[in-house]
Amino acid sequence: MTHKLDQMHLMRLFTTIVQQGTFHQAANLLGITATKASKDIKHLEEHLQVTLLQRTTRSIYLTDAGKSYYQSAKDILESHQQMLDKLQNIKQQLQGEVRISAPTLWGKVVLTPIILAFKKKHPDVSFIANFTNLRVDLNKENVHICFRSTLLKNENYLARYIDEDNYVLSASNSYLKQHPTINTPSDLDNHSLIYLAHQDRLFEKIAFQHQESTIYKHLKGDLGFNDKESIYLATKEGFGLAVLPRYLVAKDLDTGQLVQVLEDYPIQGSKFYALYNQRRRESAVINQFIDFVIEWVSK
């Protein structure tokens, strides 16, 4: 053992004795005998040429020199531990592969910037992201994390809550200026909906929440797309009203390019989760990435 390491041991021993109040308890914590602890403190005092401790049969007392040494030694030990922690973090740099599935639009708009930010922070982590609106089986398709809006009772995976999956009814200022005022859902009869065109025509029937009740409104339109980005573009161009994800229109609502219609009648939403497999629950990269996503979307 080098002289420098001896000094670290002696500082650690001395501070532990002070904190524990006895040589015996300090020695037990450090895995040495009380006799060795006593000899080492004597060696320390001889090296420093001062008396650090006054000992009686029942107690130990710090001298003025001992009080000064104790505070300095404690500061040095804390700094040393912080240095070791930083080195350990460097050695344990996150690495590995993360296979992700997410809804197409949410993946493009929300998740892609998050993946890129995480990749910059942890360059040794590789990602394979598949954006699809099809339901994914994590086991069969070897997916580590699946992000989706879902009811947990229908899932067989571990789950972390990400965010509310909210939709808003919105329109452009130019459209609203040219059409009748909308104060209640019944006023929508005189308006056209740009709808999501697929088999069940999900957004033709809108569920509004108002005063603890649900109001269902069936809207018709002459413009339909099977893609939300196309609906979004048509809405900004003033072709009608549309139900769109809040994450997609948030900036436009902030800048005034789009206006939320019937703010007092929010549309029924759901919850968005990160689903992952039992065998992945202890994976540092999986857990830290999910933490990163949660922190990002909360902002």
pLDDT at position 284, please?
77
> For residue 281, what are the CA distances in angstroms to 106, 115, 229, 274?
24, 20, 34, 12
pLDDT above 70 covers what percent of the chain?
Answer: 92
Per-residue model confidence as pLDDT tens digits over 107-137: 999 999 999 999 999 998 999 999 999 988 8
Locate 238 and state its tokens: 């003033």
Per-residue model confidence as pLDDT tens digits over 156-179: 788 899 998 899 999 999 999 999
> Taking the alpha carbons of 45, 50, 52, 56 in that order, is the dihedral positive or negative?
positive
Residue 77: CB atoms within 10 Å: 16
Band of residue 21 on the pLDDT scale cut at 50, 70, 90: confident
The boundaries of every CATH 3.40.190.10 domain in the chain are 96-163+271-298, 167-268
CATH of domain 96-163+271-298: 3.40.190.10
pLDDT at position 279, please?
56
pLDDT above 90 covers what percent of the chain?
Answer: 46
Angle at 219 between CA 263 and CA 251, to 5 degrees: 40
Residue 65: CB atoms within 10 Å: 15
Q: How high does pLDDT run on average in the chain?
A: 86
Band of residue 2 on the pLDDT scale cut at 50, 70, 90: very low
pLDDT at position 3, please?
45
pLDDT at position 146, please?
94
The boundaries of every CATH 1.10.10.10 domain in the chain are 3-91
Identify the architecture of domain 167-268 in CATH: 3-Layer(aba) Sandwich (3.40)
**Domain topology for 3-91:** Arc Repressor Mutant, subunit A (1.10.10)
Per-residue model confidence as pLDDT tens digits over 206-245: 889 888 888 888 887 888 888 899 999 999 999 999 999 9
Distance, CA of 273 to CA of 168 (rounded, Å): 20
